[in-house]
Each structure stands twice: as structure tokens, then as C-alpha cells.
Structure 1
Amino acid sequence: MSGVAARRSESVAGQVVVGVSDSLGGLAALRAAAEQARRSGRVLVAVHAWEPPEGEGMYARRPDRQWARHWHGEARARLDRAFAEALGGPPRDVDLVRRVVRARPGRALRDAVAGPDDLLVIGVHPRRMWRGRIHRYVVAHAGCPVLTVPAPPLARHELRALRRASAHDFAAAGPAD
């Protein structure tokens, strides 16, 4: 029996749903959710929500399917990059479902939850842990336990360096591989 199949027979009911973004909190949430799925034998459901950059209201006035396909592709690429940055790629030791959803993040996460046995994992900025709009929404509407994962703290000198950085500083380092 394979490792994933063996864990599935010992698994906890439900799934682990994680809101994925490329923020530090989102990457930390993805790592924590993968670990929760690994330990419990649950399916990991990674959700990346997106909306047209001009907003749904403006898009409704001038719909363009090609433009929407472009931004859907960008959202899928961001989800793939988040896995690469957080975990070095998709985890091979858990069952994984990836969802790129055109919706507000809170609603997309709420809709991904299948029942009270699920675990919803979201990342937050440490200073806004209890005030974030998405956090408040999912806690009120998810219908399952919510694990809040703070972004890793940065040292003061790192924060100062980031505040002083310009686009030129990043371009000087060359393209990322």
C-alpha cells in the first residue's frame, strides 16, 4: 500500500482548506496547512481567489473573456509560485486539490469548506491578526475550525531595508530562477 493510501485509512474526517496568497502570511499558512494535512491524513485543498484587477463592477460593464482568461492564468501561476516558494513544489505525501476561484477571498474559502469536520487555514499579518476583513469573515461564516497563521516576523533592520528598497534594487539582482 502506498504511503498516501496508508495514511488515508488512518485519516481524520474532513479536509484541510488553505487560502493561498504570495504574502508572507499566505506562504506560512500553506506550510502549516500542508503539515496539518500530512499529520491527519486529510486532503489538502489549496484555494487562490482572484478578481479582475479593475474589479467585478467595471468588468461587468465591459466584459472581455480573453482578459478574464489572462487573469485566471496569472492567478494559477501565482498558486504554483506559492507552492514553489513555501514548499519547494507541490507536496507529494498528501492528496492535493488546487482551486483557482474568481471570487472574493472570504467567500471563496467559505465555499470551499465542505462541513464542520474541515479545518480552514489562513495567513495573517501579525499586527492585524484580529482586525483583518478576511479573518473576520471566515471566522463568522466558515462553519468549521479556523487556524490563523501569522506571517513570520522580520527584524527591524530587515523592515528598514525593505522600506528603503526601490525597484532598481531588485532589478540589479537579476532575474529569479
Structure 2
Amino acid sequence: MHGSGRQQGGAAPRVVVGVSGSLGSLAALHRGAAEAWERGAELLPVLAWEPPGGEFGYRRSPCPPLLAAVRDAAEQRLRTALDEAFGGADPGVPLRPVVIRGETGPALVDVADRPGDLLVLGRGGGLLRRRLRRSVSAYCARTAGCPVLTVPTPELLAELRQLEASHRRWARPEAELLPVRG
């Protein structure tokens, strides 16, 4: 059943979705659109970006043309993700894409700042990626003032990762291959 379209206090309900362009974030976009439809809510796909080297690096060595290029690339990445998620079709709910400068977790929490919001996130990348970067979903779950929904990795992606891991385990370096005599 389609939701009523209003939260307490008269503010329109919103579903905020973290988008990176990964398959996990595309799955989150699909789930976010379904949640927005159910709630009669506006869908806010959010892509956060930072200057190369982070904010500290940019303050030490500012380069406005580079900053503009990175921002433009982030906007294009969000447009591409929306096209890939919905195939260029209307998702069937009000849509307001947001590109925001900042670290991903804090930026998402800043956008999803209403108690009636729902923040939807895809599960992060592989094990190495999770070790190198702190978990956005864990950060958001700890600090968001609204419910956080984490969408599991799509089955196809999980299967591809397993296949890739088994291939690496069994692949032999070229140096170990013996020459073929003809």
C-alpha cells in the first residue's frame, strides 16, 4: 500500500540512499525507491566526495580547477549510477539527487537529519576495502538520528567475489609455469 506522504510535524518523508556507483549501492537505490514508494516519500540519492588528498591536503595545497573537476566527476558518477539503477526510467517516486562535499558517513548523517528519515546503505566493498576504510554503515548506525537500513550484497556480486577468491587461490604465477616443448 502506498504511504500517506507526510510525517509528524508536516514534513514530507524522505528516504536517503548512499550512492557510490558500486553494485551494492545500486541495490540500495532499488530498495530505497521501493521504501520511498511504500512511504509516499521523496528519494534522495546522495553521493559524497572529497578533494584528492582529503580536506587537510586540499587546505595545504588548494587548486580550485582540480576541485571543480572532482566535483563534476562526482556529479557525473551519481547521474551514471541513477541511469544504471533505473535504466533511464522514472523510479516512480519524487527524486532529488544530492552531491555533497565531505566524508561519506558524516555527509550521509548530515543529510538524513530528520527523525522520520530512513537512511539506506549498500554493504561495503570486499574485505580489503573494509579494512582500509572505516565502515560507513557502522558509522551511520551509531550516529544517525533516524533508522538505518543496510541492504545485503546482491547474490551475483557475492558469487563473483567467491569465484574470484577461488581463482586467486588456485592460480599459479607465470614464473611457475613450465615451458611447453613442441
TM-score, scaled relative to structure 2: 0.75
How do 1:1-177 and structure 2 match up within 5 A? 10-13=4-7, 14-89=13-88, 91-125=90-124, 133-153=135-155, 154-155=158-159, 159-160=163-164
Preserved contact between residue 17 and residue 120 of structure 2 (Cα < 8 Å): yes
Change (3 A) 1:58 1:152: same
Over the residues paired in the alignment, what is the CA RMSD in angstroms? 2.7
Unaligned 5+ segments in structure 1 are: 1-6, 165-177
Q: Alignment identity in percent?
A: 42
One-letter amino acid of the structure 2 residue matched with residue 19 of structure 1:
G
- Corresponding residue number in structure 2 for 1:175: none
One-letter amino acid of the structure 1 residue matched with residue 118 of structure 2:
L
What CA distance in whole angstroms lies between the structure 2 residues aligned with 1:162 and 1:85? 28
Unaligned 5+ segments in structure 2 are: 8-12, 169-182
TM-score, scaled relative to structure 1: 0.77
- Corresponding residue number in structure 2 for 1:174: none
**How big is each residue's C-alpha offset from its partner over 1:84-125, in whole Å with a ceiling of 9 and x where there is no partner?**
111113635211111111100111111101311110000114
Bigger Rg, structure 1 or 2: 2
What CA distance in whole angstroms lies between the structure 1 residues aligned with 2:166 and 2:64? 37
What CA distance in whole angstroms lies between the structure 1 residues aligned with 2:166 and 2:97? 31
Corresponding pairs, count:
156
Displacement after TM superposition at 1:37 (Å): 0.7
Displacement after TM superposition at 1:161 (Å): 9.1
Displacement after TM superposition at 1:163 (Å): 6.6
